[in-house]
C-alpha cells in the first residue's frame, strides 16, 4: 500500500546528515511546547466547564438545557469563520504572535464569564456567559491548530509525532479536569462562582507564560529538512492545493466527522446518562475515563508511529475499533444500572478514538506537504467543528420529551429527553466515516519522501572525506 514504506535511512544516518546540513534542535522547544500545552489545557477546561453540571446551571440562571448546550456549542460555531483567519495567522504572522493573542483571548473570556457574579444588578447573565465563551472559542481556533505547526518547526523528525501528541492531548486533559472538577465543585448553586473563579487560574498562568517566555516563532536553525521548507506555499495557493488533494479531502471529511461526533459526545454525555438514573458524578467519571485512556493510547501510538511511520494503518485501525465501541455505547446507554459496562465502553472509546487524533493531524500534514502545517491541520479541524455543529444540532433535534420516570436524575426542571434515536444515529455516522476512510483513503507520505530525497542528494554530492563521518544505517554514532 502506498505510504507504508519505511524511512530508507536509519535514524543515526538522518541525525548525522542533519548535523552536516546545519539542522539543530533547541532545548527551548520544550518551553514553547509547555506553554502551548498549558494554554490548550486551559481552553478545554473553559469549553466544557458547564456541561458536567448543565442541569444545575440551567436551574440557577432559569435557562433551558438548549441554552446551556449553546455555551459549549458556541466553540464549534465560532471556530468555523475564525478558523480560516487562524490558519492565515499561523502560516503568515507566525506561531509566537498567534500563541500570545490566543492566550489573551482565553484569559479575557475566562474573566468575562464571572461578571454576572461580580455585578449583581446584571439582568441578563446568559449574555455574559455566552460572551466569555465566545472569546474563549476564538482562542480555541488558534491553539488547537498549533501543535502540528510547532512540531514541524521546532522538533526533529523522530520527535514530531510525540510533540504533536503532547500538545494535542493537553486539550482532552483539560476536558478530563472539567468533567471531574465541575461536579466536585458545584454541589449547590451557590458554588457556581467558585467554579468559575478556579478556571481563571490556569488561563491567567498561560497568558503570563506566553507573554513573557516566547520570543520567536521559528528557531535560528531548522531541526529538519521538512522544517526548512515549511509553509513554502502561499496561503490561498495552499488552500487550493488542499481542496484538489483527493486523499486530504477524504481524510478531512472522515476525521472531521470523528471530531464532531466526539465533541457532541462529551457535551451531551451528562444529559444522556441522567435520563437512566446515572448521577452527574458518574457522567463525569465516564468522561474522565474517556480522556485518560485516550491520552494513554495516544502516548503509546505516537511513540510507535514515530518509530515505524505507519500513520495510515494506525488511523484506519483506530477508526474501525472506535465505530464498534460507539455502537456498544448507543445500546448500553439506554439501559439502567450498567455502570461497569458504561465505564468500560467510555474507556475503550477514548483508547481507540481519541488516541488517533494527533496521528491523524500528522497524516494530514504528510499527505499535503508542502502546504503549511497550519493550513493542513487547521482545515481538518475547522471541518470537524462544522460537522460537530451539524451532528449536535441533529442529535438534540431528534430527542423528544417524555413523562419523567422515577429513576431520572436530571435536574433542569423539565421532563427528560429520549436519546435512543440520537445515539443510534451517532453510532451509524461513526461507522459510515470509518468505512469510507478504510476503503477510499490512500496516500504517500510527501514530507518524509522530501526529507529522504534531500538526504540522498547530500550523500551523493558530499566528498568521500565527509561521507566517512556519516554512519551507515544500523551502525552507532
> What confidence tens digit (pLDDT) does each residue in 169-220 have?
788 788 888 878 888 888 777 888 888 889 999 999 999 999 998 888 888 8
Question: According to the model, what pLDDT value does residue 101 have?
Answer: 92
For cell 478504510, the residue is 438
Residue 372 CA to residue 143 CA, distance in Å, equals 16
Residue 213 lies inside a defined structural domain of this protein: yes
Residue 278 CA to residue 296 CA, distance in Å, equals 26
- One domain for residues 122 and 252: no
Question: According to the model, what pLDDT value does residue 431 have?
Answer: 93
Residue 226 lies inside a defined structural domain of this protein: no
Q: What is the CATH number of the domain that holds 171?
A: 1.20.1250.20
- Domain range spanning residue 153? 28-217
- One domain for residues 175 and 240: no
Average pLDDT, rounded, for the chain: 80
- One domain for residues 206 and 247: no
- One domain for residues 213 and 314: no
For residue 265, pLDDT over 60 is answered with yes
Better pLDDT: 301 or 238: 301
Q: What is the pLDDT of residues 55-103, one digit of tens each?
A: 777 777 777 777 777 887 788 778 778 877 887 887 778 888 989 999 9
Residue 23 lies inside a defined structural domain of this protein: no
Question: According to the model, what pLDDT value does residue 103 have?
Answer: 94
0.85 exceeded by the pTM? no
Average pLDDT over residues 415-439: 88
Residue 18 lies inside a defined structural domain of this protein: no
Residue 193 CA to residue 197 CA, distance in Å, equals 6
- One domain for residues 416 and 361: yes
- One domain for residues 190 and 301: no
- One domain for residues 151 and 251: no
Count of structural domains within the chain: 2
- One domain for residues 190 and 240: no
- One domain for residues 159 and 251: no
Better pLDDT: 131 or 51: 131
Residue 417 lies inside a defined structural domain of this protein: yes
Q: Which of these three, 217, 250, 272, is where a domain ends?
A: 217
- One domain for residues 383 and 240: yes
- One domain for residues 290 and 437: yes
What number of helices (H) and strands (E) belong to the chain? 20, 2
* Spatial contact of 265 and 350, defined as CB atoms under 8 Å apart: no
Question: According to the model, what pLDDT value does residue 4 have?
Answer: 41
Q: What is the pLDDT of residues 225-248, one digit of tens each?
A: 666 655 555 667 777 888 888 999
Residue 382 CA to residue 87 CA, distance in Å, equals 10
* Spatial contact of 84 and 69, defined as CB atoms under 8 Å apart: no
- One domain for residues 172 and 320: no
Residue 367 lies inside a defined structural domain of this protein: yes
Q: Which of 255, 431, 208, 466 is nearest to 360 (CA)?
A: 255
Amino acid at each position: 500500500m502506498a505510504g507504508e514504506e519505511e524511512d530508507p535511512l536509519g535514524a543515526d544516518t538522518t541525525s548525522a546528515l542533519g548535523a552536516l546540513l546545519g539542522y539543530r534542535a533547541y532545548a527551548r522547544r520544550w518551553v514553547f511546547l509547555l506553554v502551548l500545552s498549558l494554554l490548550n489545557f486551559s481552553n478545554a477546561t473553559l469549553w466544557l466547564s458547564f456541561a458536567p453540571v448543565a442541569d444545575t446551571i440551567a436551574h440557577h440562571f432559569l435557562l433551558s438545557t438548549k441554552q446551556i448546550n449553546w455555551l459549549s456549542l458556541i466553540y464549534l460555531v465560532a471556530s468555523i469563520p475564525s478558523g480560516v483567519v487562524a490558519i492565515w495567522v499561523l502560516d503568515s504572522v507566525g506561531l509566537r504572535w498567534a500563541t500570545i493573542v490566543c492566550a489573551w483571548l482565553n484569559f479575557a473570556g475566562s474573566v468575562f464569564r464571572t461578571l454576572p457574579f461580580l455585578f449583581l444588578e446584571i439582568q441578563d447573565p446568559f449574555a455574559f456567559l455566552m460572551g466569555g465563551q465566545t472569546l474563549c472559542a476564538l482562542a480555541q481556533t488558534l491553539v488547537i491548530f498549533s501543535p502540528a505547526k510547532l512540531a514541524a518547526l521546532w522538533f526533529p523528525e523522530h520527535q514530531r509525532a510525540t510533540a504533536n501528541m503532547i500538545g494535542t492531548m493537553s486539550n482532552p486533559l483539560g476536558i478530563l479536569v472539567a468533567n471531574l472538577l465541575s461536579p466536585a465543585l458545584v454541589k449547590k448553586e451557590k458554588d457556581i462562582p467558585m467554579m468559575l473563579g478556579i478556571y481563571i487560574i490556569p488561563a491567567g498562568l498561560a497568558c503570563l507564560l506566553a507573554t513573557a517566555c516566547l520570543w520567536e516563532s521559528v528557531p535560528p536553525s531548522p531541526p529538519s529538512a521538512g522544517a526548512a521548507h515549511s509553509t513554502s506555499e502561499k496561503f490561498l495557493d495552499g488552500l487550493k492545493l488542499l481542496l484538489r488533494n483527493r486523499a486530504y479531502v477524504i481524510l478531512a471529511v472522515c476525521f472531521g466527522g470523528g471530531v464532531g461526533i466526539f465533541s457532541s459526545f462529551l457535551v451531551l454525555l451528562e444529559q444522556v446518562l441522567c435520563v437512566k438514573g446515572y448521577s452527574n458524578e458518574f457522567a463525569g467519571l465516564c468522561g474522565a475515563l474517556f480522556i485518560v485512556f485516550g491520552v494513554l493510547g495516544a502516548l503509546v501510538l505516537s511513540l510507535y508511529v514515530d518509530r515505524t511511520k505507519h500513520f495510515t494503518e494506525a488511523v484506519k485501525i483506530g477508526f474501525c475499533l472506535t465505530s464498534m465501541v460507539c455502537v456498544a455505547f448507543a445500546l448500553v446507554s439506554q439501559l439502567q444500572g450498567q455502570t461497569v459496562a458504561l465505564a468500560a465502553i467510555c474507556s475503550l472509546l477514548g483508547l481507540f478514538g481519541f488516541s488517533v487524533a494527533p496521528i491523524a493531524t500528522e497524516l494530514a500534514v504528510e499527505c499535503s506537504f508542502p502546504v503549511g502545517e497550519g493550513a493542513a491541520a487547521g482545515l481538518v479541524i475547522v471541518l470537524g467543528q462544522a460537522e460537530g455543529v451539524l451532528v449536535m444540532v441533529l442529535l438534540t433535534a431528534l430527542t423528544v420529551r417524555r413523562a419523567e420516570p422515577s429513576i431520572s436524575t436530571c435536574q433542569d426542571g423539565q421532563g427528560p429527553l429520549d436519546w435512543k434515536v440520537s445515539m443510534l444515529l451517532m453510532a451509524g455516522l461513526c461507522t459510515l466515516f470509518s468505512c469510507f476512510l478504510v476503503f477510499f483513503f490512500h496516500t504517500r507520505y510527501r514530507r518524509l519522501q522530501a526529507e529522504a530525497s534531500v538526504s540522498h542528494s547530500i550523500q551523493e554530492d558530499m566528498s568521500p572525506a565527509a561521507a566517512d563521518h556519516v554512519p551507515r544505517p544500523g551502525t552507532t554514532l
